[in-house]
Amino acid sequence: MSITSSRSKLAVLAVAIASAGAALPTIASADSDAIRPTRVANWTLTEGQAATLRVKLTCERGYTPCTFLVDGIGLTAKRSDDFTARTKPARSKLKIRRGGRSMIATVSFTAVDDAVCEGTETARVRVIKRTRGAGSRRDYGNVTIADDDCDTPPTPGPRPDPTDPKPDPKPDPSQPFPADSGSPTVTTTALTNGTLGECTTPQWIGARATDGVDGWFNRGCAVKVTCPTTARVCSARAESRHSLERAIDGERVSLNSRITAFSASGVAFWFRDQSSAGAGFTRNEDPGVMIRGGESARVECNGVRIAPTAPNRSQIGCSLSVERVS
């Protein structure tokens, strides 16, 4: 099934549905439950304010070394436009080599003070923790950005006449924005024991959904990562997300993601689908699958802005980490 087929477009509207393909024999999925979660506090800032968030990173005995990625990511808030984030120590990978040890990482958040009424928006502090033997896990803390430009309520328009046989049509969501352009950004980052692949679409209006679905379809993106031939087994874990550019009350998005395993010759032999929906944002996280050296995994993601009532765009991204286990 193609991720962009009509059937997939319908599948993205399903909520909390997950179906699995044929199981991979003799190899079990990674167990992230054995990894202690990282506690990340929730914060609230007003535009123009700055704060420093402290995160304690701990490595359990028996799973060393532990490698951490700590960064600030956008949900409904957009990095650079709505906030900036800087992590200290300023390294892409923070490592604890001895079990039972810990370190403090700080994330300096600044909410950008603009002159646009956008409503309350949300960013996140993301901590990706990778261990030897127990795979990896992700933990998050929310940073709520309160808008200080919405003190004056908008002037209400005339009340619609319920007897009017020709009410105003629903506003065209494509009007305020230029036509969609650009391609998804695909990046790979070297990890201590593997590779992290990520893809992100531009902010897209999308195309009108078909098959009677009321919404705008974002075709999403895909990324593929290979387990090194020098490894015996790798753990492949995927995450995907879909968020609106503008936070509008009542606006919902759906998300469909698929992780597929390929043989060394490129033949797909296993897959798992996940679908979800939420108000302005939704996210899928796959529990992971083990693949052998020379095999590869791919994650694909797409979604729909469901029955939009105002002009908007959305962004979809997915990530895939493939790490050597043995």
pLDDT in tens, 170-226: 444 445 788 899 999 999 988 888 899 999 999 999 999 887 788 999 999 999 999
> Residue 232's pLDDT is what?
94
d(CA 185, CA 222): 10
| pTM of the predicted model over 0.75 | no
Does pLDDT of 158 surpass 70?
Answer: no
82-131 pLDDT, tens digit per residue, is 888 888 877 667 888 888 888 888 888 888 888 777 778 888 888 888 88
Does pLDDT of 1 surpass 50?
Answer: no
> Residue 30's pLDDT is what?
43
- Residue 322 confidence class, pLDDT cut points 50, 70, 90: very high
> Euclidean distance between the first and final Cα of the chain, in Å?
32
- Residue 79 confidence class, pLDDT cut points 50, 70, 90: confident
Domain count for the chain:
1
- Residue 137 confidence class, pLDDT cut points 50, 70, 90: confident
265-295 pLDDT, tens digit per residue, is 999 999 999 999 999 999 998 988 999 999 9
Residue 165 lies in a domain: no
d(CA 270, CA 29): 13
Cα 30 to the center of its chain, rounded Å: 20
What mean pLDDT is predicted for residues 144-170? 58
Residue 87 lies in a domain: yes
227 close to 324: Cβ distance less than 8 angstroms? yes
> Residue 292's pLDDT is what?
96
Q: Which of 197, 244, 229 is nearest to 75 (CA)?
A: 244
- Among 124-138, 144-158, 303-317, the range scoring the smallest mean pLDDT is 144-158
Does pLDDT of 240 surpass 90?
Answer: yes
Residue 238 lies in a domain: yes
The token pair at 176 is 């305020």
Residue 163 lies in a domain: no
Does pLDDT of 258 surpass 80?
Answer: yes
Residue 145 lies in a domain: yes
d(CA 274, CA 257): 5
Residue 154 lies in a domain: no
Residue 274 lies in a domain: yes
d(CA 293, CA 227): 5
The token pair at 104 is 């403090």
d(CA 143, CA 108): 11
What mean pLDDT is predicted for residues 129-137? 81
275 close to 255: Cβ distance less than 8 angstroms? yes
Of residues 251 and 159, which shows the higher confidence score? Answer: 251
The token pair at 109 is 């958040």
2-52 pLDDT, tens digit per residue, is 444 434 443 433 333 333 333 333 333 344 556 778 888 888 888 888 888
Strand order in the sheet with 215-226: 17-20, 268-279, 252-262, 296-306, 215-226, 207-208
Residue 94 lies in a domain: yes
> Residue 109's pLDDT is what?
86
- Residue 156 confidence class, pLDDT cut points 50, 70, 90: low
Range of the domain at 112: 6-149+176-324
Q: Which of 294, 306, 315 is nearest to 244 (CA)?
A: 315
